[in-house]
Chain A
Amino acid sequence: MINTHQELVLALSEAAELEHSLICQYLFAAYSIKNQADAIAAADVVLFAAWQEKILNVARQEMGHLGTVWNLQALAGAAPYAGRVNFPQPGGRFYPPHIDFSLTPFSDDTLQRFIEFERPEHGEQLMLAGVPDPLDYSRVGDLYRQIRQAVIALPEDALLIDTTAVEDSRSWSNNVTLKTATTRQEVIDAIDFIIQQGEGTPGATAGSHFAIFVTLKDELAAHLNAGGAAPGRDVAPNPWMTDHRDAAGGTPLTAPAAVEAVSAFNLIYGCLLQLLRHYYAKGTETEDQRDNLKMASYRLMHACLGPLGELLTRMTGVTENGLRAGPSFEHFGAEDLAAAPRAVWRVVASRLLDARGSLVALQGAGAGPDFGSVITGLEEALDWLTADQPA
């Protein structure tokens, strides 16, 4: 049971990590879906694009959930938590839910896991004894309901630590909603919003992530039963550049060009996390500089990680058994940059330049797909980051 400030902060960090991990898994599956670049029928291009958009839209809403959780952490006087263990994580090994956390291409099995993540549980909640209690939960919604109970029960001085913390309610995209809170009721409303978007309400799951994945699974079954083409590319599950002690297995990438491209992806991904952590923490940047942080982050998400994630899945024969590459979302240990804006902005800009250099070299060597739009996106992000750097 969550009944202290410390337990609340830990639970919010757990929620942030869960949302973060779900986003990676949903994006990986979405990027693996075949499109007009593959030799598929025109009708399949339309159908698969619609499926991909549904998953991407769920991922965007999860990004809104992550931003909302970071807002609640700020209110509770905590730093935004962007940590995450590497993939794969067999069910129950690291996270309490007995569901595999795994990067796998779009398939019936993948959708079944997504359904299990979001499955509604509207019954009584598990109540645990002891202080500090270990977190135990069976589904995403279950964890949020425990946090909700704590928010109702905790005294305000353990909940509303810093109501002046910089909170983000800005629109990141027309399909992303972030909630802010400065009162107990607003915190409860924000948590209810996350729960309802994930699993719906008792007796009414329409439009929830759970319902979207159930519908997708049914549509995929109908498509395959009618003799339709497999929609997922043969992407290596849980691809990695290097073995990770916090992960259980995975598929090593063996082709140098793929390793280089995935390395660039992970470099950009790490930079994005550094920027977002800094953006959501109460920094000393001016409002204009915060705007630039947001613009740079947006370009990294939309113009770099999104297109590059999909392009990686077009790189064929990059593992020992001839599978395709994919965005591995790899972490390489704890790396907390200094809190000073000056350091963060410069380190990130330097790394983005490195990522750009890698992609330019790959492009020049004709190794892999056309990375031109990603390179342009990196240059745009760099422009936002270098125009008005904190002194």
Chain B
Amino acid sequence: MVTSVHFEGWFQARFATDPDAYDDPRGHGGWTFAFAGEPDFDRVLRFQAPVAPRSHGPQIDVVVTQVVVGGAPVAGHPLIGAPVVLHDGPKFEGHNGDIAPDGSEPVFPFHLVVAANGVSLEVMEWLRLADLKRPVARSRFGKGVGAVLPADQRRLLNGLDSAAYLDRRIANLRADLLASVDPTVRANLTNRIAELEKGGIVLGALGFRVDYAFAVPAAARAATDPARSLGLADPLSPAWAMKWWMGCWDADALSGYISGEVKLG
């Protein structure tokens, strides 16, 4: 018996980009910036409750979309719609290539919880930060920068191509700018528009995709399923694996899309 809990949605991650230092708090020479009125970057991946979300960006919310038990989707499964939560402030730990090259940055710490209606799955971090430079952590690395599938991209960009998606954002921000008198808001919008109009990597990043896949050690798992909705007598006994892709990076909104699964068995 194999059970898969599928999840997807937009996430937020506010971080500086090359050639800035990975932990630059504002962004200076790269292509992402903390603009006027916004707090410093903290690099944290957020699946819910974004910090200082930018106007006209995607709605941040990663949730369970489907539960498949023994190859069959379970309609009305208690976990469907449950928020997928990452605890403990996870970050892309690439450290400008010191730990991992672009597109391979491991998400650390990885502490994922899915819980609703008395059913829960939890993956706890089993590595320490210093392990990330050791072979034991290699499976946690991303598989490099690839391209998001065209069908996924159209769906996620509301049926638009990348250029049209950015043009629409620019038009919305210009309208906001015309209506705004607050100097901080105006400075923020002006900077956002200027960065979007550059195109370049901001346009290209909407087509990025990075894949992740790794096994979860037994000691790092926890589960609650008294009614056996997951189809397993003991959900901790089979092998667990995490698999997802992240991409369609919206540099203006500091957001990306994630689609993946927790697989039991």
Contact = CB atoms under 8 A, between A and B. Distances in A.
Report the 8 A-B pairs with minimum CB-CB distance, sorted nearest first. Answer: A387-B130, A42-B184, A174-B19, A383-B129, A42-B183, A42-B187, A173-B21, A42-B36
Interface residues of A, number: 29
A380 interface: yes
Interface string B18-30: 1111010110110
Interface in A300-357: 302-303, 307
A384 B129 contact: yes
A376 B91 CA distance: 13
B130 A46 contact: no
Given A53-B28, A175-B21, A41 B130 contact: no
A330 B133 CA distance: 34
11 contacts: A42-B37, A46-B191, A174-B18, A174-B96, A175-B21, A294-B98, A295-B98, A295-B130, A298-B98, A376-B89, A387-B128
Given A41-B183, A291-B98, 10 more contacts: A36-B37, A43-B187, A45-B184, A46-B36, A295-B95, A295-B98, A302-B21, A307-B25, A386-B130, A387-B128
Nearest to B185: A42
A360 interface: no
Contacts of A173: 21, 96
Interface in B26-55: 26, 28-29, 36-39, 42
Contacts of A380: 129
A60 B28 CA distance: 14
A175 B18 CA distance: 10
Given A41-B183, A387-B131, A388-B130, A303 B37 contact: no
Interface of B: 18-21, 23, 25-26, 28-29, 36-39, 42, 89, 95-98, 128-131, 133-134, 182-184, 186-188, 191
Contacts of B96: 171, 173-174
Contacts of B183: 41-43
Nearest to B133: A291
A376 B90 CA distance: 12
A175 B96 CA distance: 11
B76 to A, nearest CB: 41
Contacts of B131: 387
A31 to B, nearest CB: 12
Interface string A357-391: 00000000000000001001000100110111000
B110 to A, nearest CB: 15
Interface in A246-301: 288, 291-292, 294-295, 298
Given A175-B19, A302-B23, A288 B37 contact: no
Best-buried of B37, B129, B186 by chain A (most CB within 10 Å): B129
Contacts of A288: 133-134
Contacts of B182: 42
Nearest to B23: A302
Contacts of B130: 292, 295, 383-384, 386-388
A125 B216 CA distance: 66
A286 to B, nearest CB: 12
A188 interface: no
Contacts of B39: 36
